[in-house]
Structures are given as structure tokens and as C-alpha cells.
């Protein structure tokens, strides 16, 4: 049901390519259009195989306002007055002012806490369109009954849509790449991705700037950028998402294993994307602002195609490159790949490039030839 509902939301976005989304969700066009028709007429209830009954019975909503507020609060123990008020409005129920709801909670000795009492507004920055920038990072690993979980999250900067929330056994390149491939095949490719410094992302400068993961992203036409070292506020949306995840899912439970953690993640991600009012979005859920990328994940990655005047070399072991009688070095992450030397306006200075990306600037004027 979650997958069908997500398909319908993405396909209903302005400019969405329905047939391309059908391919990404591995369904036929006939099935996709059938789901869309049912979704338009009956909402999410129409996506069920055997039943179209509404999710809520009218008999269950006839309760006093305070009881309903307390019930919602028990269901979402980290939500404050503003979010609870929007939920009541969305449900078509009488909705007191946010301050009144907060007073109800206090009157019943409900501790608001860090995430439930609201915070002073502050200036926010976001990209203008979905998929212009995705943020990704691991939340600090936490204990399971059997093992530990490394939670990998990917957010769309514009909409705060959680594209990926995966329970991983480690933080290795192969693990991250496999999870990102799943997200790329479903949602398409972003223009850029923002990550922290360190393995497996790389760093903003120095010898470890490029890693096998960042080079793979370059192959897909995605530029990887890094936050400023020791400035976690660069990824403020990601940090805030981690706090929300802890408050609403992880603070009061311990999962049995990775599979159980993933089931918990999947259910919570659906609530976060589609139900939870987001203060930074005018109390709309992230799904109201997200649309899939038109850039599809390619089935194969073509080799670089450089202009005829570029001097093309293949990177050897330890990042060695032979050029004009000199042994030069670049990042070992480009091992086996073809790079290009492009002359600059200054004689003896070249731009070392991979595809359309500048890797480093090479000055041959003070580099002696190899004997």
C-alpha cells in the first residue's frame, strides 16, 4: 500500500512522466493508470486489493476535543500544539488554537520536551526546486538486541522528503552505493548531493577529496559537495531530521535486529513524508512539495568522451599518470579511469579533468621530467 500510494503521489505531481515512473516501480502502464484512477476517486483506500473502506470510521471520531488531542499526542509523543492542530484540521475536526492545545497538554501533565513545545522561528535556506540538492548522512549507530544499526538517511533539500531511510550493518562504500542505487532507480537522479567529511564520502579538500563513491556519483552526472569541517549546521536539515527520528521512533524502543529496524523505519518514513505537518513547509507534509526527478538512473555508464585536443591518460596504480615525460599523481579513486589534461591560458599549466569535472591544476613549469 505504501509503494502504491507513493507512486500515485509522484505520478500526480506537475510534469510527472507516468510511464517512466511505471518502469521505476516495476509495474505495467496499465497497472499504473489503474492505480491512478482509483487514487483520484477513492484516495489511498482505493489502492487496496480487496477493500475500499475508509481508514477511519465515523463512529470513532465522536469524542470530546480534549480526548482527541490527548489521543493524537499519545500516538505522536513528540508533536506539539501546531502539528496536532493541523492534524485535526486535515481530519475535518474542530481544531482549537495551537496555544489552546498546548494548554490542554500542560493541564494533563504532558511534558512537552525539546521537540513538543515549539521553538522560536529562525531563518531557513532551501533550494528552489526538488532534486536540486539531496542531503545524505549516517545517524550515529545505535544498539539492537542483536548487533548495531547504522541508519542512512537521504533528504531532498527543497521538500524535506525522506527519499531513503535504511537500516545498515556498516558504513562501507558498497553498502551506501547499494542503498543509493535503490533511491536513484525510484526517484531519479539529483543535480547535487551534500555529505559530511570522512569515509565513505571524502573530504572538501586535500588528498582524500575523492573516493570510489564520489567518483561513481560523477559517473552518474551528480556533483558531490561537502559541508564545512566542524560546522554541522551546513547540514542543518539532516541534523534536524535525525533529532526528529530519535524523538518519534528511537527514544522509547529497541529493535530486535536490522530487519525489525527497517520495518520500523519504513512505517515511520511514511508518516513523516505524508502525514506529519512540517513547520518549515507551512505545516504541509514533505510529500506535498516533492516530485520525482526527470533524470532517470541509466542502465549502463558510458566511458568519458573527451574533445580531440585533450590529452587523455589512464590512471595507473597508486594514482600515477604519465604526461609529457613526467610521472604525476592524482587521487587513487580514479584508478583505471581515463582522465584528460586540458591546457589553460598559461603555458605549462594544465587542468586535470574527469569528464566535465576539474580534479586538480597541474603546473609543469617546476616539475622536472622523469629520468
Beta bridge partners of 354: 357
The set of residues, in sequence order, having a beta carbon less than 8 Å from that of 186 and lying 6+ positions away, is 24, 25, 163, 292
CA dist 160 and 2 (Å) reads 18
pLDDT confidence band for 1 (50 / 70 / 90)? confident
* Locus of grid cell 529562525: 122
Name the class of domain 133-288: alpha beta
- What is the model's pLDDT at position 117? 47
Q: Is the pLDDT of residue 50 over 70?
A: no
CA separation, residue 158 to residues 10, 16, 94 (Å): 15, 17, 31
Output 217 or 97, whichever has higher pLDDT.
217
- Whether residue 100 contacts residue 66, with contact meaning beta carbons closer than 8 Å, is answered with no
Please determine, for residue 64, whether its predicted confidence score (pLDDT) is greater than 70: no
pLDDT range class, residue 2, cuts 50, 70, 90? confident
Q: Given this model, what pLDDT does residue 109 score? A: 62
In this predicted structure, the answer to whether residue 120 has a pLDDT above a threshold of 60 is no
- 346's grid cell: 598559461
The chain-wide mean pLDDT, for the chain, equals 85
DSSP 193-254: EEE-SBTTTB-SSSTTS--HHHHHHHHTT-EEEEPPTT-GGGGHHHHHHHHHHIIIIITT--
Which helix (H) or strand (E) segment is 5 a member of? helix 2-11
Question: Looking at residue 55, what is its pLDDT?
Answer: 56
- Specify the pLDDT at position 57: 47
Q: What pLDDT score was predicted for residue 196?
A: 86
**Residue 68: all three cell numbers together:** 482527541
Q: What is the pLDDT of residue 28?
A: 93
How many other β-carbons are positioned within 10 Å of the β-carbon of residue 253? 9
Amino acid at each position: 500500500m505504501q509503494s502504491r500510494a507513493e507512486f500515485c503521489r509522484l505520478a500526480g505531481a506537475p510534469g510527472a512522466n507516468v510511464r517512466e515512473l511505471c518502469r521505476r516501480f516495476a509495474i505495467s502502464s496499465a497497472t499504473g493508470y489503474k492505480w491512478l484512477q482509483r487514487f483520484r476517486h477513492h484516495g489511498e483506500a482505493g489502492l487496496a486489493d480487496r477493500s475500499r473502506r475508509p481508514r477511519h470510521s465515523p463512529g470513532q471520531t465522536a469524542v470530546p476535543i480534549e480526548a482527541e488531542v490527548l489521543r493524537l499526542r499519545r500516538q505522536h509523543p513528540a508533536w506539539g500544539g501546531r502539528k496536532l492542530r493541523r492534524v485535526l484540521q486535515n481530519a475535518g475536526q474542530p481544531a482549537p488554537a495551537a496555544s489552546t492545545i498546548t494548554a490542554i497538554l500542560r493541564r494533563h501533565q504532558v511534558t512537552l520536551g525539546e521537540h513538543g513545545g515549539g521553538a522560536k522561528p529562525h531563518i531557513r535556506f532551501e533550494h528552489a526546486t526538488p532534486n536540486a540538492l539531496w542531503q545524505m548522512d549516517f545517524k550515529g549507530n545505535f544498539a539492537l538486541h542483536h548487533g548495531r544499526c547504522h541508519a542512512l538517511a537521504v533528504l531532498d533539500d527543497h521538500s524535506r522528503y525522506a527519499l531513503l531511510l535504511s537500516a545498515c550493518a556498516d558504513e562501507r562504500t558498497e553498502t551506501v552505493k547499494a542503498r543509493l542505487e535503490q533511491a536513484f532507480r525510484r526517484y531519479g537522479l539529483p543535480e547535487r548531493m551534500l555529505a559530511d567529511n570522512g569515509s565513505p564520502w571524502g573530504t572538501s579538500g586535500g588528498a582524500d577529496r575523492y573516493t570510489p563513491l564520489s567518483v561513481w556519483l560523477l559517473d552518474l552526472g551528480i556533483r558531490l559537495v561537502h559541508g564545512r569541517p566542524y560546522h554541522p549546521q551546513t547540514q542543518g536539515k539532516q541534523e534536524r531530521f535525525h533529532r526528529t527520528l530519535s524523538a518519534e521512533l528511537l527514544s522509547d524502543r529497541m529493535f530486535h535486529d536490522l530487519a525489525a529496524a527497517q520495518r520500523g523505519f519504513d512505517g515511520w518514513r511514511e508518516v513523516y513524508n505524508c502525514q506529519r505537518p512540517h513547520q518549515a513547509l507551512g505545516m504541509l507534509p514533505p510529500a506535498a512539495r516533492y516530485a520525482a526527478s526527470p533524470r532517470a538512473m541509466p542502465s549502463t555508464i558510458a566511458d568519458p568522451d573527451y574533445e580531440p585536443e585533450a590529452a587523455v591518460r589512464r590512471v595507473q596504480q597508486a594514482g600515477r599518470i604519465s604526461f609529457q615525460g613526467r610521472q604525476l599523481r592524482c587521487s587513487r579513486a580514479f584508478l583505471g579511469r581515463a582522465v584528460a589534461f586540458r591546457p589553460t591560458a598559461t603555458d605549462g599549466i594544465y587542468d586535470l579533468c574527469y569528464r566535465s569535472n576539474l580534479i586538480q591544476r597541474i603546473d609543469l613549469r617546476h616539475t622536472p621530467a622523469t629520468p
